[in-house]
Amino acid sequence: MAEPNVVIDPITRIEGHLRIEAVVEGGVITDAWCVSTLFRGIENVVKGRRPEDAAYIAQRMCGVCPTSHSHGSAMSVEDATGTVIPNGARLVRNLLEAAEFLHSHILWFYTLAALDYVNPAKALAANIADTYALAQAAGTSTSDFGAVQARLKKLVDGGDLSIFSNGWWGINPLTDPEAADALYNPEMPAELHLIGVAHYLEALEMQAEAARVMALISGKFPHSMTSVAGGTAWVPTPDKLDDILYRLKRVAEWINAAMIPDTLAIAPFYVAALEFGGGCGNFLSWGVFNREDQVRESRYLPAGVLYAAEGLKVEQADYNKVKEYVDRSWYISETGLPPLEGQTEIITEWTDSTFDREGQYSWAKAPRYDGKAMEAGPLSRMLVAYLSADNESNAAVKSLVDGALAKLGITDPTKLVSLLGRIAARNLEAKFIADECLGWVTELAAYVKDGGADFWASYKADSGQGAGLWEAPRGALGHFINIKGGRIENYQVVTPGTWDLSPKDGDGQPGPMEAALIGTPIAEVERPINAARIVRSFDP
């Protein structure tokens, strides 16, 4: 086995702790290891507690997608007890989840990923009149571009780029702008870089608006206080719904006016990213945003699995086909267990050989669906919805995806299975959710006006087992619970990150991110920006 000649540790601009190692030979990555360097162990924390406590504790797994964890946890208890939540609670959960998705997607594209494609230093060279002309031609929103450029110049005159200072792999973009620009596409005009910087700053306020919606419904953000097993503890009133509608409209309008046009304006300069980063080619979605029937396959973004090698045909997703392997992970648990029987028993004695690329090298387990590694995330959800002709959302998603492909001159939808496709899918999903959630506010207002007052269903959690299958912004999320004597006997969580960041399994099959890295072109081993782009495209 060749020794890695690329090591990125830590991966910056992500939520969490991650190390990437790779072997580059002949200008491409030939092998890769995703090393999750953080152990959480929430599964062990909730053992012995009452089932209704789990949603409050389990959501501490993440500070960006806690709402998804609280919903997944609550749904596991509901599944174990046979509880169906009232329609009012369904709408409240959809709205709360939508706000979290919008917050996360905006944060990801602008705050976390954009600096891999937009060079703030180059924005200093933009002509302001040409910037307005380009924004108009691209159909993206205008800003006070002169003021933004002046703020950038003030930072530079002070000797640094402040919040924009990360990402040049040891190059100083102020003293060596040509070398810095070579990391991007030098053909991308300075004016488009300036537009990106302006919208980067606007995105901070849009994230805040989405967070305000979550705070209105859940009491605070992060970590909801109102999403509970049985439904919701929040009862909407007309004035609160009016406030929520105003804020969601503002976010939706901005996504349509800035985020989507920005995506389509920048993408042509990175069309090479359609040719690599596709990964394992297998996709899983548990589905998210319930319709009134609360059936996974009919969700606004439906459940399903598909395999690129088999023609992208959607099949029904069955959690009984999921098993977790720990052959290459820092656990002493039994390997190959289904989540309802899962164990979280860790290595406690460490030696110099505990990190072993041929053996155990990550805190992530390796979940497999029917023996296969599966990518989770917006690309999975959008592909499943795009190809699920019997789902009501199919037409809307198909229109979004086909429209974007047409504007980029792409006729083959399988090109979405790529780095650029993964980026585009997340942003198109943000538009889909932003448009749909406005209808949920109207529907909830009508429910309240018509006298609907049911937002919680009582239950008795004495014994049973259940699965809360849902989606976080990052992908497929499963909470699995066993209840005995009114207490949690066992608990297991299979997160999107566990799917995507999984290490190799006992058969040597790489996880989705590892597979996406393999084959990626690397122009300079010292500055492997394409590797970082691949990693951040999963929003780990």
* Mean pLDDT along residues 351-373: 92
* Pairwise CA distance, residues 239 & 104, whole Å: 26
pLDDT tens per residue across span 386-399: 999 999 999 999 99
pLDDT tens per residue across span 117-143: 999 999 999 999 999 999 999 999 999
Tokens standing for residue 465: 């087992």
pLDDT tens per residue across span 72-90: 999 999 999 999 999 999 9
* Mean pLDDT along residues 1-21: 92
CA 273, 279, 283, 289: dihedral to nearest 10 degrees? -50
Banded model confidence at residue 349, pLDDT cuts 50, 70, 90: confident
Least confident of 201-215, 306-320, 514-528: 306-320
* Pairwise CA distance, residues 225 & 207, whole Å: 20
Task: Give residue 299's region: left, alpha or beta (phi > 0; psi -120 to 50).
Answer: beta
pLDDT above 80: residue 206: yes
* Mean pLDDT along residues 175-184: 90
How far from 266 is each of 142, 195, 261, 273, 423, CA to CA, in Å? 16, 10, 9, 12, 11
How far the first Cα of the chain sits from its last, in Å, is 27
pLDDT tens per residue across span 385-431: 999 999 999 999 999 999 999 999 999 999 999 999 999 999 999 99
pLDDT above 90: residue 2: no
Q: What is the pLDDT of residue 353?
A: 73
The CATH 1.10.645.10 portion of the chain extends over 39-113+203-511
Q: What is the pLDDT of residue 352?
A: 74
Three-state secondary structure string covering 243-290: HHHHHHHHHHHHHHHHHHHHHHHHHHHHHHHHCCCCCCCEEEECCECC
Domain 39-113+203-511 classification at class level: mainly alpha
Helix axes 419-449, 378-387, angle to 10 degrees: 70
- What pTM did the predictor assign? 0.97
pLDDT tens per residue across span 89-114: 999 999 999 999 999 999 999 999 99
Nearest Cα residue to 182 out of 422, 520, 526 = 526
* Mean pLDDT along residues 255-266: 98
Percentage of the chain beyond pLDDT 90 is 90
Q: What is the pLDDT of residue 445?
A: 97
Q: What is the pLDDT of residue 155?
A: 87
Q: Which residues pair with 32 in a beta bridge?
A: 22
Q: What is the pLDDT of residue 389?
A: 93
Nearest Cα residue to 526 out of 22, 118, 175 = 22
Strands (E), 296-378: 304-307, 322-325, 366-369
Q: What is the pLDDT of residue 117?
A: 97
